A and B are shown apart, each in its own frame.
Chain A
Amino acid sequence: EVQLLESGGGLAQPGGSLRLSCSGSGFSFGTYAIAWLRQAPGKGLEWVSVIGSSGVDTHYVDSVRGRFTISRDNSRNMVYLEMNGLRVDETAVYYCARRLPEDAMDVRGQGTAVTVSS
Chain B
Amino acid sequence: DVRMNQSPSALSASIGDRVTITCRASQSIHIYVAWYQQKPGKPPKLLINRASILESGAPSRFSGSGSGTEFTLTISSLQADDSATYYCLQYGEYSWTFGQGTRVDIK
A-side interface residues toward B, CB under 8 Å? 35, 44-47, 50, 59-62, 95, 100, 103-111
6 CB-based A-B contacts, threshold 8 Å: A45-B36, A45-B38, A45-B87, A47-B97, A105-B34, A105-B46
B residues near A44, Cβ cutoff 8 Å: 87, 98-101
Number of residues in B with C-beta < 8 Å to the partner? 22
Q: Which of B13-55 contact A (CB under 8 A)?
A: 32, 34, 36, 38, 43-46, 49-50
Distance of A64 Cα from B99 Cα, bound (Å): 19
Distance of A25 Cα from B59 Cα, bound (Å): 26
A47 touches which one: B38, B43, B98, B100 (CB < 8 A)? Answer: B98
B-side interface residues toward A, CB under 8 Å? 1, 32, 34, 36, 38, 43-46, 49-50, 87, 89, 91, 94-101
Distance of A115 Cα from B53 Cα, bound (Å): 36
Q: Which among A61, A103, A111 has the highest number of chain B CB atoms within 10 Å? A: A103
Distance of A110 Cα from B44 Cα, bound (Å): 9
Interface majority SS (helix, strand, loop, mixed), chain B? loop
B residues near A106, Cβ cutoff 8 Å: 46
B residues near A103, Cβ cutoff 8 Å: 34, 49-50, 91
A residues near B50, Cβ cutoff 8 Å: 103-104
Residue of A nearest to B1 (CB): A62
B91 touches which one: A45, A46, A104 (CB < 8 A)? Answer: A104
Residue of A nearest to B98 (CB): A45
Q: Is the CB of A46 within 8 A of B43?
A: no
A residues near B34, Cβ cutoff 8 Å: 103-105
Distance of A44 Cα from B97 Cα, bound (Å): 11
Distance of A113 Cα from B36 Cα, bound (Å): 21
Residue of A nearest to B50 (CB): A103
Q: Which among A45, A46, A50 has the highest number of chain B CB atoms within 10 Å? A: A45
Q: Is the CB of B43 within 8 A of A111?
A: yes
Distance of A58 Cα from B32 Cα, bound (Å): 19
Distance of A52 Cα from B64 Cα, bound (Å): 27
A59 touches which one: B36, B45, B49, B95 (CB < 8 A)? Answer: B95
Q: Is the CB of B44 within 8 A of A47?
A: no
